Amino acid sequence: MSKQLLDSADKNLPTLNYAVALQKIAASQGFDWNDIKGVIAKIHEELDEVSSELNVDNNHARLVDEIGDLLFACTNLARHLNIDPEQALQHGNQKFYRRFSAIENHIQSKQSSFDDYPLEQLDSIWNLIKQQESNALK
C-alpha cells in the first residue's frame, strides 16, 4: 500500500494541532472552503448532528463520533482565522478557571456553598463577572 498524503502529518502533535495539520494537507489539494461562511455552515451542520443524537438511547459511540466531527470543524474555523486552536483552548480554560474561581470566591464571601445557589443564580453571577472583566478591558 502506498503512503497517503495525510501520513505526512505529525501524529505526535497535540490533537488540535494534528487536526490543523490534516486540514492544511487537504487544503493544499483543494479540499477546503473558499471562505469562512462554509466553515461556519459546517459547524452548524455538525452541531445539528450532535443535537439529533441526544435523544437516542445507547448511542454513546455515535455521540463521540459526532462531537469529534464538531471539534474538528471548530478547529478548522481556528485554522481559517489563523488562530492556534491549542492556544485558543488554553485561553478558554484560563478564562473559565478565572471566572469560576470568582464565583467560588463570591460564594465563600457570603459564607455559603454552591448547594445554596440554583444554576440561574450562578449563571447571573457568571454574567456579572464577565461584564466586570469586559469593563476592565475598556
User: What pLDDT does 99 receive?
Assistant: 97
The superfamily (CATH) of domain 7-83 is: MazG-like (1.10.287.1080)
Buried b (16+ CB within 10 A) or exposed e, 102-124: bbeebbeeeeeeeeebeeeeeee
User: What pLDDT does 7 receive?
Assistant: 96
pLDDT tens, 2-18?
A: 899 999 999 999 999 99
d(CA 30, CA 40): 18
Residue spans per domain, the chain = 7-83, 85-138
User: What pLDDT does 85 receive?
Assistant: 98
Give me the amino acid identity at 117: Y
pTM listed for this prediction? 0.90
Given pLDDT bands bounded at 50, 70 and 90, which one contains residue 1?
A: confident
pLDDT tens, 24-80?
A: 999 999 999 999 999 999 999 999 999 999 989 999 999 999 999 999 999 999 999
